[in-house]
Amino acid sequence: MDYLVRRLRAEDISQVVEIEREAFSPLWVSTPFKRELNNRYTCHLVVCPPDLETVEPEARSVPEASDSLLSRVARKARSLLGQSQDVVESPNSIAGYVSVWYQGDEAHITEIAVREDLRGQGLGELLLIGSLREALKYGSQVMTLEARVSNFIAQRLYEKYGFKHVGVRKAYYSDNREDAVIMTTSPIHSQEYRENFQQLQEAYQDRWREICIQG
């Protein structure tokens, strides 16, 4: 299935909170997504199937009297994407999300999660790519994050994208007092990092799907 990455919208929040609760401990302090929607120091991205608004943005300005035309445009968009109407209108269309804080020269990933039944399809990696692209656009120099010391799968993904272990936060996770490994990249604007990032994106497209990120 095709997926795209775009900015969080108000109507996405209930689904994102569901994913957050599924992925993290019940004791996890929930992110105030609604309050942070217009905060220029945060970036919340979601991954979801393409829909009419993202495929044909000009169609949003079609007057209500042209419903038949809008319907035809919608059907055409779905046909081009090889998707059914059920996919577009699914109540659980948000597959995952990533939250980033911008702090000085640093972009810090605070949360990244994918619905449990959709894991293993490259969606977490797609969110990571989206967050790195946004950090580059924002002007951040490095990207950082924490990961459970036991989460070797996540750590391998981050290492692939140039994150290195730089420290440990003791008893960081509230559910079981597990330590967190602190990981950070080398300067992401360096020629070496950007060339490697480009190669990783090409490899992702060869393995999974086209990278579609809505600005």
pLDDT digits (tens, 9 = 90+) for 39-59: 999 999 999 999 744 444 433
Q: How far apart are CA 83 and CA 51, in angstroms?
A: 9
Predicted confidence band of residue 96 (pLDDT cuts 50, 70, 90): very high
Residue of 3, 97, 102, 158 with catalytic role: 158
* The pLDDT of residue 24: 85
* The pLDDT of residue 31: 87
The letter for the amino acid at 53 is E
pLDDT digits (tens, 9 = 90+) for 126-166: 999 999 999 999 999 999 999 999 999 999 999 999 999 99
The letter for the amino acid at 180 is A
* The pLDDT of residue 103: 96
Check residues 77 and 44 and name the one with the higher pLDDT. 44
* The pLDDT of residue 168: 98
pLDDT digits (tens, 9 = 90+) for 166-179: 999 999 988 789 99
Task: List the domains of the chain with CATH numbers.
Answer: 4-49+90-207 (3.40.630.30)
Q: What is the average per-residue pLDDT within 75-93?
A: 48
Q: Which two tokens stand for residue 125?
A: 């990696």
For the chain, what percent of residues have pLDDT higher than 90? 72
Output the average pLDDT for the chain: 85
Q: What is the average per-residue pLDDT within 114-128?
A: 97
Predicted confidence band of residue 30 (pLDDT cuts 50, 70, 90): confident
Sheet with 106-114, strands from edge to edge, namely 4-7, 42-48, 96-103, 106-114, 142-148, 180-184, 164-169
Q: Is 146 annotated in the active site?
A: yes
Q: How far apart are CA 102 and CA 106, in angstroms?
A: 6
Give, to the nearest 10 degrees, the angle between helix 191-207 and helix 123-138. 150
Residue of 3, 146, 161, 173 with catalytic role: 146
